Chains A and B, each alone.
Chain A
């Protein structure tokens, strides 16, 4: 059963979802590396939680204009807009007030999420019998995903991945040494914004599969795991993309083998397993290697 799933034998839709999740994971791993190396990993947590009010508002707007309300592109556009607003709030709070970035992240995360929950209850009580099903965006769900949705995710993931690779040099330089990047005539603010914009795009594209609470894991766990294996940034980016891709593809395939296996958590836990393996067994930086070296020194 699992081998069927991994080799795309479970039908066209399941295969498309697995490929989409794989591309999404690759893009998330690569983009997440820049955030992690720039010590901004948790900004993505604020961004992802900030999508909720946008999703709910987009639904309401589409219903008001007589639409279905559940059209994925519309919901994703709303998600992107409110995530962008959340991002602006984080950078405004940490730049213009004395609050640290961590406080700004926590504030934006909880307040936007709270506002989103308020809007969800509004939707629940609006028209009787109109079951929006927007809750699936919290944890993601691949069941009932149509082909167009999977295509949106696959294409979105591939686009973000391409952009991340295109901008890798300036983003790495800004993450490593922003002062030097400025002195080289780079617009550091704009490059940081591009970095965050890519993270936002990942969040939005991944909402349907992984859900907004867990998508941040795809941005953080693969880069952290990849860092154990190499001291070269290019290699770390490639490895993080690989780990993310394997987790996305494998997670989607495993969850397709049985009903009731939630896709998002399985993808995340696969990545976590690779992280745990890296933490323990990586040469040089891994826990075992360090312990062995210590024994050698003592002996």
Chain B
């Protein structure tokens, strides 16, 4: 397991999965505390119409147009939710439900109507991602990690996800105080002169960037699960925000690594011959962690 095969087949997806999980969990903490946990759900549903629109516009399945399309769709969705909520006087949950299901339906319809048989673009791909296929052919052994030539052949998702995580982490660190203040007591933050709405918008944009980068590599299921499960489990472990963040990072990492290992090697241990979906297993593991925290976490109940 720890040989050359591990470095080329398992190490890159595990790293990418972990980076994606942490990048989603970080903004997820604040969304959870602001009772906006389902924004992540909404954003990951509208990724599909975004990539389909990008494909129809450019005629090719390329990474950057698709990420731009997904990001654009996320932005449109957030604006539409806000518009429906304000113009129609509809409560936020229902407004969200109307917008993201409609956009998802439009995405499926567009996909069915356009000729995508020649390219790899389908609903399942957007949902499950293809973590298992992110292999590193030049990673012939641990030595390859110090070989610049081999490193250049790493799956491009790895540096991209690392960059996005760095961006999200840096933004969280810089905006730590305003984020914390405005999440805890919006009225007070306003009296301090903080741009409360701007901070809320930055948070949503941060979440959208993480979601769009992550869905491409690991699929939407992981994105929704990592936005919510690690921060929720972390909340039940501590009553301090700083510690909650670290717990959530830990839980996200654990989910990604354990989920990948269980999906890849679990069936073999049980006598099976094929691996199961890593994305699904990572989400499942994060759910088990949340279940354990809900049963035994020291701060699980309201006090």
Contacts and interface: CB of A to CB of B under 8 A. Distances in A.
A229 to B, nearest CB: 12
Interface in B71-117: 84, 87-91, 93-98, 101-102, 104-106, 108-109, 112-113
24 contacts: A39-B91, A42-B94, A45-B41, A92-B294, A96-B300, A96-B301, A97-B236, A99-B232, A103-B37, A107-B287, A107-B290, A117-B280, A118-B284, A138-B123, A214-B101, A214-B108, A264-B108, A265-B106, A266-B109, A269-B109, A272-B98, A272-B102, A279-B87, A287-B87
A196 to B, nearest CB: 15
A96 B290 CA distance: 13
Q: Is the interface of A mostly helix, strand, loop or mixed?
A: helix
A98 B235 contact: yes
Given A98-B236, A114-B283, A106 B41 contact: yes
A184 interface: no
A195 B243 CA distance: 39
Contacts of B90: 224, 227
B101 A268 contact: yes
Contacts of A228: 88
Interface of A: 36, 39-42, 45, 92-93, 96-100, 102-103, 105-107, 109-118, 120-122, 125, 135, 138-139, 213-214, 216-217, 220-221, 223-224, 227-228, 260-262, 264-266, 268-269, 272, 275, 279, 285, 287, 290
Contact of A115 (B38, B45, B112, B287): B287
Interface in B252-303: 263, 267, 272-277, 279-284, 286-287, 290, 294, 297, 299-302
A135 B228 contact: no
B224 interface: yes
Interface residues of B, number: 66
B35 A117 contact: no
Contacts of A224: 88, 90, 94-95, 97-98
Contact of B279 (A99, A117, A266): A117
B160 to A, nearest CB: 23
Contacts of B267: 122, 125
Residue from A111, A114, A262, A269 whose CB has the most chain B CB atoms within 10 Å: A114
Given A107-B287, A110-B283, A111-B225, A118 B277 contact: yes
A99 B102 contact: no
Given A111-B290, A221-B102, A106 B280 contact: no
Residue from A36, A93, A117, A227 whose CB has the most chain B CB atoms within 10 Å: A117
Contact of A114 (B101, B279, B294): B279
B40 interface: yes
Given A117-B128, A272-B105, 8 more contacts: A92-B294, A97-B300, A98-B299, A111-B283, A221-B98, A261-B113, A264-B108, A275-B98
Contacts, number: 204
B105 A268 contact: yes
Contacts of A290: 87
Given A117-B128, A125-B274, A100 B37 contact: yes
Q: Which 8 A-B pairs have the closest CB atoms?
A: A114-B283, A111-B287, A117-B280, A217-B101, A125-B274, A110-B225, A268-B105, A118-B280
B208 interface: no
B265 to A, nearest CB: 14
A96 B301 CA distance: 6
Contact of B112 (A213, A261, A272): A261
A228 B276 CA distance: 47
A221 B101 contact: yes
A107 B108 contact: no
B158 interface: no
A272 B107 CA distance: 14
A217 B99 CA distance: 9
Contact of A265 (B37, B108, B263, B273): B108
Nearest to A36: B94
A268 B103 CA distance: 10
A92 B301 CA distance: 12
B221 interface: yes
Interface in B225-251: 225, 227-229, 232, 235-236
B36 interface: yes
Contact of B88 (A105, A120, A125, A285): A285
Interface in B115-157: 123-124, 127-128
B210 interface: no
B32 interface: yes
A109 B274 CA distance: 26
B112 to A, nearest CB: 5
A118 B274 CA distance: 12
Contact of B106 (A42, A102, A213, A269): A269
